[in-house]
Amino acid sequence: MKKEKAKRKISARLSPAKGKAARHDDFLTDQANLTHLEGMIEEKESLGNRIRRVRQERGLTIKDLSSRTGIDTAALERIESSETIPALGQLVRLGRALDMKMGYFISPGIDQLMTVVRKDARRQISRYGETKSMQYGYFYESLAPEKADRLMEPFIVTLVPTDKEEFSTHSGQEFLYVLEGEMKVQVGDRVEFLKPGDAVYYDSNQPHLVRCVGTNVTKILAVLYTGSK
């Protein structure tokens, strides 16, 4: 019964209104992909499986995707096998390369006017599993995983002390607000140190670095706009 109701809701969303031309905005709203969406209602895919499936739908090889994103093939294979979780910047590049919003890979969500994520219901995502991520630099929690077709990606990011410095470059813009701790932000040659209550907004198509300062963890609210279709 629930499955039939879900199918009817999907069909209603994908069918054009009378007197209006059909619109196929992206993979989620294309009638040809209805069977994939129905399958995801019954069983959620892992992030890696979702990336692999969309890549195959696009007729791309791992090597093709590597040349489009600048991510090496070995790293892409680890991502698709769910051995590692891509960094947020890599997710942006994957979304652009596969003509998808990065939020689709985190969670496709469903078509609704408002979603709420309770504090105790946030799911923490670590890039390499908890032990290695504690050395690598950060965890992130999506604050809008169930909202479909979202234009912004809000996260709570926990930065942990690390000696590693990894610059990222991708399309869009980022807004960061420090909740606790201290962090270093570098965009191009400019370096700033931010404390609780401080905020920064920058174009993420410039090489940028965000890292924890000192020996304590830093928590930030991060909102990404990727400019993806």
Provide the residue ranges of all domains of the chain, joining segments of one domain with +: 2-106, 119-225
**Beta-bridge mates of residue 209:** 186
Share of the chain above pLDDT 90, in %: 30
Beta-carbon contacts of residue 12 (< 8 Å; ≥ 6 apart): none
- 119-225: CATH class: mainly beta
Q: Which of 108, 99, 106 is nearest to 149 (CA)?
A: 108
Q: How far apart are CA 75 and CA 71, in angstroms?
A: 7
Average pLDDT over residues 68-73: 91
What would the pLDDT profile of 51-67 be if each residue is shown by its tens digit? 999 999 999 999 999 99
DSSP element (H, E) containing 208: strand 208-212
Tokens representing 130?
């908890």
Does residue 21 have a pLDDT over 60?
Answer: no
Q: What share of the chain is helix, strand, coil (3-state, %, to 5)?
A: 35, 25, 40
3 state DSSP class of 102: helix
Picking from 11-25, 157-171, 195-209, which range would have the lowest pLDDT averaged per residue? 11-25
Mean pLDDT (the chain) is 74
pLDDT of residue 124: 60
For domain 2-106, the question of CATH label 1.10.260.40 is answered with: yes
In contact, 30 and 99? CB cutoff 8 Å: no
What would the pLDDT profile of 118-155 be if each residue is shown by its tens digit? 777 666 655 443 444 344 467 778 888 777 778 888 99
pLDDT of residue 137: 61
